Amino acid sequence: MLILGIETSCDETGVALYDSERGLLADALFSQTDMHADYGGVVPELASRDHVQKLLPLCDEVLDRAVCTRSDITGIAYTAGPGLVGALMVGGSVAHALGLALDIPVLGVHHMEGHLLAPMLEDNPPGFPFVALLVSGGHTQLVKVSGIGEYELLGESVDDAAGEAFDKAAKMLGLDYPGGPRVAALAEQGREGVYRFPRPMTDRPGLEFSFSGLKTYTLNTVTAEQAADNWTEQTRADIALAFESAVVDTLVIKCRRALEAADCDRLVMAGGVSANRRLRAALETMAGKQGASVFYARPEFCTDNGAMIAYAGCQRLLAGQRDGDRIVAKPRWPM
C-alpha cells in the first residue's frame, strides 16, 4: 500500500508518503511556531487557518518528491485526535475528500500511537514487546507495547505533562514558545549543583508522574532570585539546568522501574521531549546498566510529523481498518 499520512493536531502541518514495501518515500513539514510565538502559545483559530493554507501544497510537495501522482496513493491516514478540534477537522476533511475522490480507504489514527511507533521508521526498529516513554506537550505516559494496538498503560502524569512543564519553565525564564529546546539550550551554560530541585514522586513506589510541584518550585526560585537582585544570565542558566536535571532524573527513575515491572529489555522514547539530548544520554546510561536497549526516532520525527501518522495508519489499513463516511475528530481520546 502507498499511504498518504496527514498530521494537523496542533501547530505543525505534516505530510508524508509511506510505502508498505519500500518504506518512507517522502515527508514534508510546515511548523507554525513562529506565528504562535508572538502569543506565547498556540492560538487554535490561527492554527486551523494555517493548516487550510499549507496542507494541499504539502501533499503536492511529497508526491513530487516521491515521483508519484495522486492516483498512486492507495490509502490515507490522518490524525483524528487528541488535539485541537478545528485543526483536526482540517486534516480529517482533506483526508476524507481525497479518499472520496480517489475511491480509496481513509483512516483516522491516534496521534500518540503515531509518536509511539515513530522509532519503527528507523533502520534498527525495536521488536515487540517494549516499554514506551511517551513525553510530549500533552502527555507523559509509560506504556507496555506488545504489538500494534496492544497497549497497556503502566503509569502517567497526574497533572502537567513533561513538555508542558518545560514550556512553563521557559516562560518563567523569559524564553519563547516552544520552550523545551530553549530551556535545554540555556541549560548548556548552567553550572551543576547550584540549585537542587525536587524529583517529584520518586520517593515512593509506582509509575505515576507529577510535574506541577516542580513548576511551583521553579517559580519560587525565580521569584526569590529576582527579589534578591540576582537575575543574571548565569542564574537563569543555572535554574534551567536544575529544572532540566530534575525532569530527566524523574523520567529515568520511572523508566527503570517500568522496565523492571514489565520485565522488558527494550525501551522506546517518543514525543517532543524525547528530542532532549540530556534525557537521551541519561536513559542510555540507565538502560546500559540494566542490560536494556533504547530506541528513538530521529529528532525531526520525535516532534509532530506526518511520517509517524503514515506509518501507524499503514499498519492499521493493512489490517483492514478504515473510517466510515464520517470524519473522526476527537480532541480528547485516551489511547
Binding site for Zn ion (CB under 5 A): 136, 304
Smallest distance, Å, CB 327 to ligand KG4? 20
Smallest distance, Å, CB 304 to ligand KG4? 4
Cis peptide leading into residue 200 (ω within 30°): no
Cα separation, 265 vs 272, in Å, equals: 23
Q: Verify binding: residue 119, ligand KG4, rule CB under 6 A.
A: no
Q: Verify binding: residue 306, ligand KG4, rule CB under 6 A.
A: no
Binding-site member from 109, 173, 184, 309 for ligand KG4 (CB under 6 A): 184
Sheet strand arrangement including 23-31: 23-31, 12-19, 2-7, 75-81, 106-110
Ligand-binding annotation for 180, yes or no, is yes
Asked whether 269 and 283 are in contact (CB, 8 A), the reply is: yes
Residues whose CB falls within 8 Å of the CB of residue 53, separated by 6 or more in sequence, listed in order: none
Ligand-binding annotation for 94, yes or no, is no
Binding-site member from 78, 130, 151, 166 for ligand KG4 (CB under 6 A): 166
Residue whose CB is less far from ligand KG4, 81 or 126: 81
Ligand-binding annotation for 193, yes or no, is no
Cα separation, 288 vs 150, in Å, equals: 26
Asked whether 194 and 248 are in contact (CB, 8 A), the reply is: no
Residue whose CB is less far from ligand KG4, 92 or 105: 92
Long-range contacts from 97-101, C-beta under 8 angstroms, 24+ separation: 98/4, 98/59, 98/70, 98/73
Residue whose CB is less far from ligand KG4, 94 or 273: 273
Using CB under 6 A, count the residues that bind ligand KG4.
Answer: 19
Q: Verify binding: residue 91, ligand KG4, rule CB under 6 A.
A: no
Sheet strand arrangement including 130-135: 150-156, 140-147, 130-135, 266-270, 293-296
Cα separation, 259 vs 288, in Å, equals: 12
Could you give the string, one character per residue 267-296, with x where binding to ligand KG4 holds by CB under 6 A and - elsewhere?
----xxx-xx--------------------
Smallest distance, Å, CB 106 to ligand KG4? 22
Length of the chain: 335
Residues annotated as binding site for Fe cation? 111, 115, 304
Point out which residues bind ligand KG4 (CB under 6 A): 10, 136-138, 163, 166-167, 178-181, 184, 271-273, 275-276, 303-304
